[in-house]
Each structure stands twice: as C-alpha cells, then as structure tokens.
Amino acid sequence: MNPVSHIIIVGASSGIGRRLAELYAEKGWRVGITGRRKELLEEIQKKYPDKIETECFDVTKNLNIQHLDSLVKRLGGFDLLIISAGGGDVSKELSWEIDKRTVDINVNGFVEIANWAFNFFARQNHGHLVTISSIAASRGNGWAPAYSASKAFQTIYFEGLYMKARGMKKNISITCIEPGFVATNMAKGDKLFWVVPVDKAAKQIIRAIEKKKKLAYISRRWWIIAKLLKWAPDWIYHRVG
C-alpha cells in the first residue's frame, strides 16, 4: 500500500460525506470527492488544495464509472471508497416521483458504484469498501417505503460482498454503517430522538472503518433500536411503522 492512503467519498458535498472528507484530509490522506453541486465540492477543495480532488456528477445518470475512472487517475489509485450518496423523502401519498428518485440513487447508482469498486479492489487484491446505509434498513416503513427498502438493499448487498470477499480469499474489507438520526438535511420530522451531531457521527464512522467492522451503528446505542425493530412482533410494529 502507498505511504499516503487514498480515499474516494461518493456524495461528499454536504452532511456526513463532507465531514468525512475534511477529517480524512486533515489526517493526511489524498481524498477524491464527488457530488452533484460543483460549487460545494470546490468550496471543500479550497480548504485542502493539496489533499482533495473533485469530480462533479449525479449518481442517477449514466456516467458514474467514467467519472470515477477519471478521479482514480488523478488520485493515483485508491485504497478506500465510501458511498455516502443517498436520498429519500417521506412519501405519505406514495408518490412515484419520490419512489423512483429514491431507487435511482440508493439502489441503481449505489450498486453500480459498489460493484465497480469491489472489482477494482479484487484486481489489486486490497481495499476497503464502505456504505452509509441506515437503521431504516431493519424494517419496512409506511411513511417512506422506498427509502427503507432501498437501505435494506444496501445492507444485504454488502453482506453478500463480505461473503464474496471471504470466498475469493481477497484482502477486501467490507463495512456497512447504519446511522440513526444524524443532524443533516436528511433528518426530517418533528419527533426525532437520539440525534447525533455530524462531527460525532463522522468520527464514529472513521473509528468503525479503522476497526474494519462488518456492521456498525451510529451512534453505537442505535443497535438497541435495531434489535427492537427486528424482533418486534408484526402486531406491534405495524401500528407505528
């Protein structure tokens, strides 16, 4: 591995992805960041001009891999990729527009990038692949059905990649992060609890990555909610879900 580690963060223009980019740059990593909003990417780059490379694109379009290939060339390779791009809104009336957008980002865009990164790491025989899923992956949700389903897809896909890496005997680490409520624009609602500040969430995510955890909850106490959600009987859960 190179003396200076290289990371790509997909979806780093704001929120958790942005703070992760800043923290890794401060650690001395070479950081490639992507996002839809060029001005926000450039704003981050100006803070760390010698550490950060940018590539502006929307993961719902058809050029994800070309953009990532370009970024890899400028970075000189990479050792770690974090998929932080994600979206989802409350869909009380089951809006097709909301559901389609959610699936395009959290399933189609996600799986193309994850598949590409895994195969890249398999060829170089090392790497670490991380996704920011959600505690919502635990069960269905009547307020945002597509969001919880798409996050379940991410979590289960990453479990499959973990098994595949072991079966191939490749030096590839797989980490799925499931945050609860984090103080970003994604946290919507009036009855949120255990809301984690972005900086705290990002630092806990980095610790989980460094420990090469297969699955980590952010903050750590959200594992309690995950267990309750998974084991709650339908007759109880369906009243509130």
Does residue 147 have an active-site annotation? Answer: yes
List the structure tokens of 218: 């952010």
Given the structure tokens 């942005």, which residue do they identify?
Answer: 18
Would you give the distance in Å from CA 164 to the centre of its chain? 20
Beta-carbon contacts of 145 under 8 Å, excluding residues fewer than 6 positions away, are 91, 94, 99
Contact 133, 155 (CB under 8 A): yes
Annotated catalytic residue: which of 24, 147, 157, 162? 147
First to last CA, the chain: 46
Beta-carbon contacts of 113 under 8 Å, excluding residues fewer than 6 positions away, are 10, 59, 64, 68, 81, 83, 85
DSSP-based three-state secondary structure for 10: strand
Give the dihedral sign, CA 128/157/143/57.
positive
Alpha-carbon span 216 to 134, nearest angstrom = 10
Beta-carbon contacts of 169 under 8 Å, excluding residues fewer than 6 positions away, are none
Residues annotated as catalytic (active site), given as ranges: 147
